[in-house]
């Protein structure tokens, strides 16, 4: 039986909802630059991600369901967040191959050269950083194989070593990926918060993530199932931030658990910690201490 105090090992991150001022511009960015496909459109919203795939194998037909990554919600009446407020630090889009990552980096850097903010070899991954047209952070990354990650007890070794974008593109960019890009999916979400101790208490002590790395009082990284991190929180530009007011930017972070029982266990845990939740029978929604909204659902 799994530990009811922690999140299931097969947790996955769902879509990140962004409240945006210009729906057309933001849709074009995540579709044409990042390489996500439009999965659904409705009045005032666009959902982008990885489409469903049907593969014929020796064992029969295998259907991989669509995986939403970003939901854009047109909210032109909202103001932009201040630079030191809590909220989204970045949405991290994980690509399955270096070639797929290289294609996304090339397209994004070519379309928005002034929006590139850096790159790093994190030992567990290779990552490239951008800001979208409305200032939301975006990480595009590829994971090294798990058996190459180095652990010391329950802490994974991560660093920020130099990673030359041009050298990476020369080595890994292919015409096939440029012509037929492979969309990524949300691998992790990184938040700006007011203080690390409170983030640790809420996200690990109450919600149930396992801490995998810490950077003094500046940042903490957490996951389920031995991933390097599904979520992270830092105070690099938001130390001392209070509760958010409605702004453009982060609207919602979706977390997907493997079963309704797992969602029920989380709900009970929140009640034990006296944390208010909204439960409509299918999803559980709650706010972190800074008003960042989380929605937890079970795999369909």
pLDDT digits (tens, 9 = 90+) for 97-118: 999 999 999 999 999 999 999 9
**Position 62 confidence tier, pLDDT thresholds 50, 70, 90:** confident
Query: Residue 57: pLDDT above 90?
Result: no
Query: Residue 85: pLDDT above 70?
Result: yes
- pLDDT tens, residue by residue, 164-192: 999 999 999 999 999 999 999 999 999 99
- Determine the Cα–Cα distance for residues 149 and 167; give it in Å rounded to an integer: 23
Long-range contacts of 210-219 (CB under 8 A, 24+ apart): 210/6, 210/7, 210/154, 211/154, 211/155, 212/154, 212/155, 212/156, 213/155, 213/156, 213/158, 214/155
Query: Residue 294: pLDDT above 80?
Result: yes
| Secondary structure (3-state) at 51 | coil
Whole-structure pTM value: 0.95
- Copy the structure tokens of residue 78: 């909202």
Q: Which domains does the chain have, with CATH numbers?
A: 12-298 (3.10.180.10)
pLDDT score recorded for residue 266: 95
Residues paired with 12 in a beta bridge: 256
Query: Residue 1: pLDDT above 50?
Result: no
Query: Residue 28: pLDDT above 60?
Result: yes
| Secondary structure (3-state) at 197 | helix
How do beta strands 53-57 and 293-298 pair? unpaired
> Count of CB atoms within 10 A of residue 169's CB?
16
pLDDT score recorded for residue 4: 66
Average pLDDT, the chain: 95
**Position 3 confidence tier, pLDDT thresholds 50, 70, 90:** low
CA distances from 47 to 15, 16, 74, 251, 286 (A): 9, 10, 12, 13, 22
């Amino acid at each position: 039986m799994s530990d009811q105090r922690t999140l299931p090992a097969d947790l996955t991150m769902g879509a990140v909802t962004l409240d945006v001022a210009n729906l057309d511009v933001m849709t074009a960015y995540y579709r044409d630059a990042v390489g996500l496909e439009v999965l659904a459109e409705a009045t005032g919203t666009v959902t982008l991600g990885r489409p469903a795939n049907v593969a014929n194998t020796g064992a029969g037909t295998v259907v991989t369901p669509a995986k939403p990554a970003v939901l854009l919600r047109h909210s032109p009446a909202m103001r932009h967040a201040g630079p030191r407020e809590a909220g989204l630090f970045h949405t991290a889009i994980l690509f399955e191959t270096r070639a797929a990552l290289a294609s996304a980096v090339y397209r994004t850097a070519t379309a928005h050269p002034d929006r590139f903010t850096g790159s790093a070899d994190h030992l567990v991954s290779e990552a490239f950083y951008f800001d979208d047209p409305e200032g939301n952070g975006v990480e595009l990354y590829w994971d090294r194989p798990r058996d190459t990650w180095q652990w010391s007890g329950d802490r994974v070794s991560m660093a920020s070593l130099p990673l030359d974008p041009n050298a990476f593109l020369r080595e890994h960019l292919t015409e096939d990926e440029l012509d037929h890009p492979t969309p990524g999916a949300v691998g992790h979400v990184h938040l700006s918060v007011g203080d690390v101790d409170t983030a640790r208490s809420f996200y690990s002590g109450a919600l149930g993530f396992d801490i995998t790395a810490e950077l003094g009082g500046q940042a903490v990284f957490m996951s389920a199932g031995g991933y390097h991190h599904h979520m992270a929180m830092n105070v690099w530009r938001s130390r001392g931030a209070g509760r958010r007011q409605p702004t453009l930017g982060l609207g919602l972070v979706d977390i997907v658990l493997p079963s309704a029982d797992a969602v029920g266990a989380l709900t009970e845990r929140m009640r034990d910690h006296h944390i208010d939740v909204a439960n409509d029978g299918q999803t559980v929604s709650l706010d972190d201490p800074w008003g960042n909204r989380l929605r937890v659902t079970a795999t369909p």
